Structure 1
Amino acid sequence: MGRGSSPGGSSTSAWSSRALPARAAARPRALAVGFRPLWVEAADAFESGFLADAEEWLLTHPDHVRAEAVRACADDHRQRWLHGYRNNFGFGYMTLGRPKLNG
């Protein structure tokens, strides 16, 4: 899929006209079907955590044979993330739990 493309292959302008629920709107939907939000975070926290693993490894293995490749991969990923590879789409995560039913 090319940069700026939707999964169907059209440009992102086709996606921008579709109303996607804001993070605040997702919570009532989850509650309405019996789930409780246990953890809510935006993509930034996920992306930072994803890259932190590689960066921490690089701090302790700077001369490892794979260090250059890991560093390049992390730098490339961070560059694309911070400069908008998600464009307007973005996303968040909601970890849901369902209470036990009595009986």
Structure 2
Amino acid sequence: TIQENINIFDELIGLAKEINKNIKIIILLTPRLAEVEKAHSENKKMVRWKHEFEEIIQPYVSGNICYLNMKNLYPISENAYFYEDAGHMNAVGANAYTSYLNDFILNWES
């Protein structure tokens, strides 16, 4: 259930902070092929899911925990060459995406 997942997430965050109180945690939504994202944006259930997800994680976001929504990272999401299929990046896409994510991590100040 959603509540069980929230409890597990809460435990994971707590455990990570126990292990390293200065740990930086990124809650991440990865890019999705633009055509798929557009189709999902027209589906009320999918739109509601994203809002519910963001409401659930918002209380966790502060200090060393950030939320990074890269679903519409257009250099990645609009390039079909980066995708193996509608739901998965290929190696070229994964490398390009990793470059964006790496830049964020290197420049992230909490």
TM-score (norm 1): 0.28
Q: Which has the higher contact order (CA 8 A, sep 6+)?
A: 1
User: Which structure: larger Rg?
Assistant: 1
Q: TM-score with structure 2 length normalisation?
A: 0.27
